[in-house]
Structure 1
Amino acid sequence: MDLGMPEMDGFQLIGEARRNEATRELRSIAMSGFGRRTDARRALEAGFDAHLAKLASIEELKSAIARL
């Protein structure tokens, strides 16, 4: 999920997903143009299972999915 979406950003959307019983256990990866450790930590604290900085390679994405 892109964190910088219009109208509702990724942080808001994952918050909604975690509060909803039907989507609470949904596995999620945040994708952001920001790749600092603080950015990854913020995404994980918000409820994402992983964080990747854009432009992640297909191998990085496959690896993150495998860890889920």
Structure 2
Amino acid sequence: MLVSDLGMPEMDGYQFIAEVRRRPATRELPSIAMSGFGRRADARRALEAGFNAHLPKPASLDELKAAIGRL
């Protein structure tokens, strides 16, 4: 399970998940993107980039558990 912020210095979450997906050992790793942006377009971009789910921040523990359960 991978949970990553999208807004990181040097390599953003989109670049990070692209690198994760390039590696055979982590190609199918369940992943959740977290972002301060919660628009549908933001979630769609995260899914298109290779994440399996998107949660807007701040996410509660219950929201995170629910997202993990859906994966």
TM value normalised by structure 1: 0.97
Residue 22 of structure 1 aligns to a residue in which SS?
Answer: helix
Instruction: Report what 1:23 is aligned to.
Output: 26
5+ residue gaps, structure 2, are: none
Aligned length: 68
Q: CA deviation at 1:22?
A: 1.2
Residue 33 of structure 2 aligns to a residue in which SS?
Answer: strand
Identity of aligned residues (%): 76
TM value normalised by structure 2: 0.93
1 or 2, which has the higher strand percentage? Answer: 2
Q: CA deviation at 1:19?
A: 0.9
Runs of 4 or more consecutive aligned structure 1 residues displaced over 3 Å after TM superposition: none
5+ residue gaps, structure 1, are: none
Matching of residue 58 in structure 1 with residue 65 in structure 2: no
Q: CA deviation at 1:25?
A: 0.9
Q: Quick one: distance in 2 between partners of 1:62 and 1:44?
A: 18
Cα-Cα RMSD: 0.5
Q: Quick one: distance in 1 between partners of 2:33 and 2:20?
A: 13
Residue 44 of structure 1 aligns to a residue in which SS?
Answer: helix
